[in-house]
Amino acid sequence: MKKYVIMGASNRAYGMFARGLYAGFKDCARVTAVCDPNQTRCRYFRSSIDPDLNIYRDFDQMLDAEKPDAVIVVTVDATHHEYIIRALDKGYDVITEKPMATDVEKCRAIFEAEKRSGRKVTVTFNLRFNPYFAKIKEILMQNSIGKILSVNMEYLLGRPHGSDYMRRWHAEMKNSSGMLVHKSTHHFDCVNWLIDDEPVSVSAMGSLSFYGPTRKERGVCCQDCAHKKTCEFYFDVTGDEFHNEMYAKAKHEDGYARDGCVFSDRIDIYDNMSASVRYAKGALLTYSLNLYNPYEGIKLTITGDKGRIEAYEFMTGLQSMESKEKTRTVDVIFDTGSKVAYQFSDSGGAHGGGDVRLLEMLFRGGVQDKLSQCASSFDGAKSILMGICANESIRIGKRVEIKPILDRIRALNLT
């Protein structure tokens, strides 16, 4: 039985870690405490998950009192590094939600803390554990399409999902470094892992095209908005127990509005992004992400010198409703003209069943990592630096080199 503590009483901390471990891993893992400046949210964790859960306002006090086997960090992105480093320096391993950090200096500081403490950081990339992506990895490991030459990934966030980032703290660069870091780190890591390669350089473009101050009829937050009866993006933060208890009733402590207006002038992240990445072994990645589509899904193609993989996943919209047995497809097309097709039904659970498989690997142990799904801090660095450098490319209008930064991190001998 191992003990874990959570820093950050967030949605992700609640659903995946606190409730997930309590429900499915009582025989081997236990969350003994949660820490957050907002004590209302901490009390909700305790009342709805485990009456024996200890709650703290002070992070160091929690570590000193609980003495866990590892620390789980699930705070606002821009503060991940702070708690990761403090935990490492106190002698604890860390499991952190992506992105590991939001800028180069924070990333470097984490590696320096790993080196001086001798402890390690694990990053939770659940797409690696999705059976759909795991099958693609298996196909590539068999060298089925030969040397990889090009990758195209188009990630389409539907309006219900995409707009939700604009309501929350994610909508401000100071908190998340934008979607190229917060969201795309998932996708960049998935490509890095699938093709087993490292990014060298990136050129990117981005714009705020749909959300932000594009509409006169807007307010501060949905609950108090004069336009809530006519706005298609109205969100009732009191409409269910979880959001009411975690956010509406907790707002008085820190002022955080979970239902911020998606057309607010506070929004300064991009909602429309594209990036071109060169890899060390020669492959080129063309990537796009936008947050206002009529449906949600992923379109991924990987082309090698012996064939091509075409993969599609539809989470919402007409495509997903046509047949639940055909919402996830992987076609392997060989240069001979032949084809092998795979179809995946909904395996259940968050992220296509990836979350529960990730928890099994991290907390139950004894699971063979045949596909190298467990991500290290260096994996985390590769993915976030792609987004950080993409943001810089947008800012200066030029291609940005990633390799020199990775090389400096590699020089710390932590890879």
Residue 14 counted as domain residue? no
Label the pairing between strands 284-293 and 148-158: parallel
Residue 226 counted as domain residue? no
Label the pairing between strands 328-334 and 339-344: antiparallel
Place of tokens 């959570």: 6
pLDDT of residue 351: 58
| Cα-based distances in Å from 144 to 139, 150, 251, 315, 335 | 6, 15, 53, 27, 11
Amino acid identity, residue 249? K
Residue 341 counted as domain residue? yes
223 and 259 Cβ atoms separated by less than 8 Å: yes
Residue 118 counted as domain residue? no
pLDDT of residue 287: 98
Residue 97 counted as domain residue? no
> What is the C-alpha end-to-end distance of the chain, expressed in Å?
29
Residue 191 counted as domain residue? yes
pLDDT of residue 348: 61
Which residues constitute the domain of residue 348? 127-211+268-410
CATH number at residue 139: 3.30.360.10
Dihedral of the alpha carbons of 273, 279, 284, 290, in degrees to the nearest 10: -20
DSSP at 43: H
Label the pairing between strands 93-97 and 121-124: parallel
Bridge partners, residue 274, by sequence: 205, 288
CB atoms within 10 A of CB 131: 14
List alpha helices for 49-183, DSSP H.
59-66, 80-89, 104-117, 131-141, 159-167, 173-176, 179-182
pLDDT of residue 349: 59
Peptide bond between residue 99 and the one before it cis (omega within 30 degrees of 0)? yes
For the chain, 415 residues long, the average pLDDT of each consecutive 10-residue run is: 96 93 93 98 97 97 98 98 98 97 96 95 93 92 96 96 97 98 97 98 98 94 95 96 97 96 97 98 98 93 96 72 60 88 69 78 86 94 98 98 95 66
Helix pair 104-117, 80-89: axis angle to 10 deg: 10
Burial class (CB in 10 A: 0-12, 13-18, 19+), 392: middle
Residue 91 counted as domain residue? no
Per the structure, the count of domains in the chain is 1
380 and 406 Cβ atoms separated by less than 8 Å: no
Q: Identify how many contiguous H helices and E strands the chain contains and give both numbers.
A: 17, 16
Residue 38 counted as domain residue? no
The 284-293 sheet, strands edge to edge: 339-344, 328-334, 307-314, 297-304, 148-158, 284-293, 272-279, 199-207, 400-401
pLDDT of residue 22: 92
pLDDT of residue 328: 76
Detail the DSSP E strand segments found in 120-219.
Answer: 121-124, 148-158, 199-207
List alpha helices for 202-297, DSSP H.
241-243, 251-254
**Is residue 156 helix, strand or coil?**
strand
